[in-house]
């Protein structure tokens, strides 16, 4: 009957390939790879000699059934891998898995690296519940709409982004969900791994100041603001803590009172305190 093993591969540091993952690839009859050129390098490092078969996002739909039939009829041990991380998680592979399940072929996970999980683990956010969204739409209007949907979901969201669009993504987050906190990881597990923490504004500033921003791969984790009371106008969700504090002060409240009101409306204490300090400095400068 054969077996399909879904094998997670390193996202940067080759030492992260588990002993079980190495042995599974070594014993495999075929390795179904997203890009055989990338997987060939892995094979050379770990002295793997299985036959490589290409199956990527653009040909998976047409090849999945045939691959599953081959595994079934030739009783093969097949390993499914992608260029980096866990197959089927914002990467190709699900069509092959589905085709094998349909034919009764056992599908066995061989877990390991996943950039999204790695990023969540270093975020410091309460991730007992989180949502993984992968790559968001490229078109600006669609991106904004998707971020609005994300803002109404669970409090922790995980995104992937390319180095060429990371500034655009964080800019959109600043515009649509300015009250969130962000953890933005670049080149996880690699030599020049870097993680940025803070508000969308501070993360965006750091990205723009880094001349090497357009290098590496990014994974972003968003901690979304707590849901505000029903009597708060929805457009206030898109306002910064400073802007909301100013609106409160326009009603005759002091800066300290505005800070307390902001906290009582659901804003985090640290964010409200930082907003008050920012406004205090602004008023002093003026």
The model's pLDDT over 147-172, given as tens digits with 9 standing for 90+, comes to 998 998 899 999 999 999 999 999 99
Q: What is the pLDDT of residues 109-129, one digit of tens each?
A: 999 999 999 999 999 999 999
CATH homologous superfamily for the domain 116-223: Tetrapyrrole methylase, C-terminal domain (3.30.950.10)
Residues contacting residue 205 through CB under 8 Å, at least 6 positions apart: none
Return the structure tokens found at 204: 């965006």
Q: What is the pLDDT of residues 186-227, one digit of tens each?
A: 999 999 999 999 999 999 999 999 999 998 899 999 999 875
The whole-angstrom distance between residue 235's C-alpha and the CA centroid of its chain comes to 26
- At residue 236, the pLDDT reads 46
Reduced to 3 states (helix: H, G, I; strand: E, B; else coil), residue 237 is helix
Residues contacting residue 62 through CB under 8 Å, at least 6 positions apart: none
Residues 136/219, Cβ–Cβ less than 8 Å: no
Q: Do domains 3-113 and 116-223 have the same CATH topology?
A: no
**CA pair distance 190, 119, nearest whole angstrom:** 13
Q: What is the pLDDT of residues 222-277, one digit of tens each?
A: 999 875 334 334 444 446 778 878 888 887 889 988 888 877 766 778 888 888 88
Nearest one of 48, 52, 2 to 21, comparing CA atoms: 48
The residue ranges of every structural domain in the chain are: 3-113, 116-223, 234-285
Task: Give 229's DSSP letter.
Answer: P
Say which CATH topology domain 3-113 has: Cobalt-precorrin-4 Transmethylase; domain 1 (3.40.1010)
Mean local confidence (pLDDT), 139-150: 90
- At residue 285, the pLDDT reads 59
Reduced to 3 states (helix: H, G, I; strand: E, B; else coil), residue 286 is coil
Residues contacting residue 194 through CB under 8 Å, at least 6 positions apart: 185, 186, 187, 216
């Amino acid at each position: 009957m054969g077996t399909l093993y879904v094998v997670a591969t390193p996202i940067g540091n080759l030492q992260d390939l588990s002993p079980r993952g190495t042995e599974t690839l070594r014993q495999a009859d075929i390795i179904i790879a997203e890009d055989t050129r990338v997987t060939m390098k892995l094979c050379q490092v770990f002295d793997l000699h299985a036959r490589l078969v290409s199956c990527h996002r653009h040909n998976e739909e047409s090849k999945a059934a045939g691959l599953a039939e081959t595994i079934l009829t030739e009783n093969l041990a097949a390993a499914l891998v992608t260029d980096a991380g866990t197959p089927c998680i914002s990467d190709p592979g699900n069509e092959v898995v589905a085709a094998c399940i349909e034919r009764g072929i056992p599908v066995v996970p061989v877990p390991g690296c996943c950039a999204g999980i790695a990023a969540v683990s270093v975020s410091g956010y309460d991730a007992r519940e989180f949502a993984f969204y992968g790559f968001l739409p490229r078109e600006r209007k669609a991106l904004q709409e998707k971020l609005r949907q994300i803002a109404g979901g669970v409090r922790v969201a995980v995104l992937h982004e390319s180095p060429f669009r990371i500034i655009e993504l964080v800019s959109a987050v600043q515009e649509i969900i300015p009250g969130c906190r962000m953890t933005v990881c670049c080149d996880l597990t690699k030599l020049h791994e870097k993680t940025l923490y803070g508000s969308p504004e501070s993360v965006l500033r750091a990205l723009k100041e880094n001349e090497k921003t357009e290098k590496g791969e990014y994974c972003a984790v968003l901690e979304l603001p707590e849901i505000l009371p029903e009597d708060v106008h929805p457009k206030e969700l898109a306002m910064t803590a400073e802007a909301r504090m100013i609106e409160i002060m326009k009603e005759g409240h002091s800066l300290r009172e505005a800070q307390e009101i902001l906290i009582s409306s659901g804003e985090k204490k640290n964010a409200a305190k930082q907003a008050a300090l920012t406004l205090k400095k602004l008023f002093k400068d003026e």
